[in-house]
Amino acid sequence: MYDLNEPNEVPSITGAGAAAYVDPAAEFRARLAAITPELFVAKILIAMNAVVFLAGVVSGVSPLEPTIDSLIRWGADYGPSTIAHGEWWRLFTCMFLHIGIIHIAFNMFVLWQIGPFVERLLGNMGFLIVYLVSGLAGAFVSLAWNPYVVSAGASGAIFGLYGALLGFLSIRRDSIPSEVLAPLTKSALVFLAYNLVYGLLRTGTDLAAHAGGLAAGFLCGLILSVPLTVEPMPRRGIRNAAIALGAIPLFIGTAITLPRPIDLQAEIKTFSDVEKRTLAAYNADLKQAQLEKSRDDQLADRIQKDVLPDWVAEHNKLAALKGLPERPRAVVTRLLTYMDARQQGWLLLIQALRKHDINAVRQANIKQHEAEQLARQIAATH
């Protein structure tokens, strides 16, 4: 029974005695901010990518469609240079080099979107380690899969960030509120699915680098998945060191075991030099024969001596290249077809001159015309 003379406290759902509602997502973000107060690594990485791109454009690299030569010159990953010539620094520089403004714009937009959250989640140093290890792993997988691909871009490292997020969530899912977890998981899966489909439909996409970065990032995420508590603070240092120190011997061992590819770009340059020198010698012999009114057999001897030796030697050198993948092998096959046509034309001309056979001279000219058409076709595909 209530005593109406005594004051009675009646609980109120709106009064001071009620427990205040705490938004789980807001509380989680506040906790992350307390664990990792400052964000700067993702911003620095974006700035570095932008500076490298602008520096390339200022130096003359096309902002829309940079050439293969310009990409290699600026540090793209290319097996014959990276492996055969020992330019291992390309594994690092290729992460900050992009193939046109659309490429860098897309990658930096994604990095701006996912970077800050993953940096809060893993810590500044953990974020940097995952980014670099994933990028290097992607470059190594690309070399192992096809060393003749000219690879550049931050995609492998960015895939590594998504891999690290998925690795972290696979163990610490209960530490992230569903209000945050659901959109994160959806965003990661959409990104991965989109890039998979886009890579399969668009030729030239380095899917091997994407897969390598994703796998490396996932493993890093498993290792770095610590409880997200402010007290005590997460002990990230040992785990960061374990990843960094473990990656070094793994990468060194991979570098040692990678097969040494043929430097096809160097071979093509050598061929180009031989072609210029040989055609110049042939034209010089024809001009000298006209000026001196040489006999047909004398012109034949000059062509035999000045033109054929270097040409035949280069032809045999290219024909001896073995173990090339499909696309580089197709390039060499086209060059050999062209060289065969040139060589047959010169041999027919030599025989015609020695036999004084005007019809055979016409056949030799037809063969040379065929070679010129092949040369134009090759030039149009490069």
Closest CA to 53 of 66, 67, 42: 66
What is the rounded distance in angstroms from the CA atom of residue 150 to the CA atom of residue 83? 13
Q: How far apart are CA 105 and CA 325, in angstroms?
A: 32
d(CA 46, CA 154): 10
Question: Mutual orientation of helices 326-355 and 358-380 as an angle, nearest 10°?
Answer: 160
Long-range CB contacts for residues 54-63, cutoff 8 Å, separation at least 24: 56/97, 62/100, 63/100, 63/101
CA dihedral for 270, 272, 276, 279, sign (positive or negative): positive
Active-site annotation, residues:
155, 210
Q: Which ranges constitute the DSSP H helices of the chain?
A: 24-35, 41-58, 68-73, 79, 90-93, 101-122, 124-145, 155-172, 178-201, 207-223, 237-257, 264-292, 296-306, 308-319, 326-355, 358-380
Does the bond joining 147 to the residue before it have cis omega, within 30 degrees of 0?
no
CA distance 35 to 8: 45
CA 69/CA 89 separation, integer angstroms: 17
Question: What are the distances in angstroms from CA 126 to CA 93, 109, 119, 195?
Answer: 20, 21, 8, 25
**Adjacent-strand bridge partners of 353:** none
SS3 87: coil
Angle between helices 124-145 and 41-58 (to 10 degrees): 50
CB 159 within 8 A of CB 214: yes
Q: Looking at the chain, how many residues does it have?
A: 382
